[in-house]
Chains A and B, each alone.
Chain A
Amino acid sequence: NAGVTQTPKFRVLKTGQSMTLLCAQDMNHEYMYWYRQDPGMGLRLIHYSVGEGTTAKGEVPDGYNVSRLKKQNFLLGLESAAPSQTSVYFCASSPGTGRGMNTEAFFGQGTRLTVV
């Protein structure tokens, strides 16, 4: 009954360091997403994937890369962290899109990242 699991839950990075956030879902969902949430800005889509081996850019993709080598995992990478990337990151998954399909997204608990 895990749903969407994100690791780590908290992380502090120094400017210029790199890291990878891992998202795993056990619901066999096709779609997976990475969002960031900042005070007063709401949830903004970074990258998303519509299936294994595919990725696409969202609203705020700069400074991030993603990979979806396995259907159940979606990785978000920061190659050279900047203070502007301090945020709470949420991963989500959904079965698919289109009316008549079960389209709601299920979210993980978030990763709080601070870049100093």
Chain B
Amino acid sequence: EDQVTQSPEALRLQEGESSSLNCSYTVSGLRGLFWYRQDPGKGPEFLFTLYSAGEEKEKERLKATLTKKESFLHITAPKPEDSATYLCARYDRGSTLGRLYFGRGTQLTVWP
């Protein structure tokens, strides 16, 4: 069973059409929830870390939020350059230090 589940697997948006990506996790005792962006042929690039339910962080057109069960990555008025795979990862109190568990990602395509 996946410890981190992302949905949808793929999302196509028209430029300017806002939407949200979901990341849900099955294990309690979250110590941190991470969002990364990955472009084709490249390594993941860090976006946000969230630690507590209710926490929010923003960067340009992206806003990440966290509840006790899930995290959302909201994309406002996306542009084609926002096209990428967005990865969610977590580690929790029960895990060995340093272990990040990743979801399978949401592939976002923004067309003009």
Measured CB to CB, the residues of A under 8 A from B are: 4, 31, 33, 35, 40-45, 48, 50, 56, 58, 90, 92, 94, 97-99, 103-110
Given A42-B105, A43-B102, A107 contacting B96 (CB threshold 8 A): no
Known A103-B32, A103-B49; contact A45-B100, beta-carbon cutoff 8 A: yes
Contact of A50 among B32, B36, B42, B97 (CB under 8 A): B97
Complex alpha-carbon distance, A41 and B101, angstroms: 12
**Identity of the chain B residue whose Cβ is nearest the Cβ of A45 in the assembled complex:** B99
25 A–B contact pairs at CB < 8 A?
Answer: A4-B43, A31-B98, A33-B98, A33-B100, A42-B103, A42-B105, A43-B89, A45-B101, A48-B99, A50-B98, A56-B98, A58-B99, A90-B44, A97-B97, A97-B98, A98-B31, A104-B34, A104-B46, A106-B46, A107-B43, A107-B45, A108-B43, A109-B43, A110-B41, A110-B43
Could you tell me the distance in whole angstroms from the C-beta of A4 to the nearest C-beta in chain B? Answer: 8
Interface residues on B, range: 20 to 34
Residue of A nearest to B3 (CB): A59
CB B48 to nearest CB in A, in angstroms, measures: 9
Quick one: CB contact mask for B58-102 with A, threshold 8 Å, 1 for yes? Answer: 000000000000000000000000000001010100001111111
Q: Which residues of B contact A42 (CB under 8 A)?
A: 87, 102-105
Q: How far is the CA of A98 from the CA of B32 in the complex (A)?
A: 8
* Shortest 5 CB-CB contacts between residues of A and residues of B: A107-B43, A42-B104, A43-B102, A104-B46, A31-B98
Q: How long is the Cα–Cα vector from A62 to B30 in the complex, in angstroms?
A: 28
A40–B98 CB distance below 8 A: no
Cβ 8 A contact of B46, one of A31, A99, A105, A108:
A105
Residues of chain B with a CB closer than 8 A to A35's CB? 102
| Given A41-B104, A104-B34, residue A90 in contact with residue B97 (CB < 8 A) | no
A92 to B104 alpha-carbon distance, docked (Å):
17
Q: How far is the CB of B21 from chain A (nearest CB, A)?
A: 14
Q: Which residues of chain A are within 8 angstroms of B91 by Cβ–Cβ distance?
A: 97
Q: Which residues of B contact A108 (CB under 8 A)?
A: 43
